[in-house]
Amino acid sequence: MDSMLALHDRFGSAAPALRDVGAPLATAVLSRRTQRRYTGQPVPAALVELLCCAALSASSKSDFQQAGIIWVEDAAQRAAFEAWCAALAAPFPAMPWIGYAPVFLVFAGDTRRLERLGKLRGHPTGNKGLEGFFNATVDAALALQTCILAAENAGLGTCPISVLRNQAPLVADVLGLP
């Protein structure tokens, strides 16, 4: 698909009148869609590792690299997430794709990293403020988006699931996080 067609598909008549400038990444971004149905075909571990490496190579706010990725391979952990999502209150739909997606990655901001780096470098920084939270959130979002683009470039469909944030203590418990 060329970028003009992708622009029109995404924005309709409001699309800017641009000529096709041959920007394959822009075209890929304009063409992307969230996928909630999967073939069930396994994704090679080496490809998942490569996608995680790409994600962790994303730009980082303030250069603190406060993003982490947890590859949820354990069937019991995935079942716990799936059961929790299925039991959500009426405003939230059940999310069965958690259980049958061939790969499930959790992107997390490491709010403690800024504090640890400050202590290591002799510049203690209290982690209770907005700075640590904001840096970690932005870094995790940048890593997630980079992973999505890399996965789609490799021919994989993706579906970010942000509802996990609504139950941070449950997620931390299931994944064994601090």
Dump pLDDT digits (tens) for 50-59: 999 988 888 8
Provide the b/e sequence for 57-72 (b: ≥16 CB within 10 Å).
Answer: ebebbeebbbbbbbeb
Average the pLDDT over 57-78 and give the result. Answer: 80
Beta bridge partners of residue 68, listed in sequence order: 108
Q: Which residue has the higher pLDDT, 106 or 101?
A: 106
The mean pLDDT value of the chain amounts to 76
Whole-structure pTM value = 0.75
Average the pLDDT over 139-154 and give the result. Answer: 92
Residue with tokens 């396994």: 42
Q: Would you say residue 176 has pLDDT above 70?
A: yes
User: Where does the chain have alpha helices with state H?
Assistant: 3-11, 24-31, 45-55, 75-86, 97-100, 112-120, 130-153, 168-175
Phi, psi of 105 (to 5 degrees): -115, 140
Beta bridge partners of residue 107, listed in sequence order: 69
Residue 62 DSSP code: G
**What tokens does 69 get?**
């990725």
Beta-strand ranges (E) seen in the chain are: 67-71, 105-109
**What tokens does 63 get?**
């250069």
Confidence of residue 7 (pLDDT cuts 50, 70, 90): low
> β-pairing, 105-109 with 67-71?
antiparallel
Length, in residues, of the chain = 178
Confidence of residue 89 (pLDDT cuts 50, 70, 90): very low
Which of 29-38, 111-120, 138-147 is the least confident region? 29-38
Q: Which residue has the higher pLDDT, 76 or 145?
A: 145
Residue 12 DSSP code: G
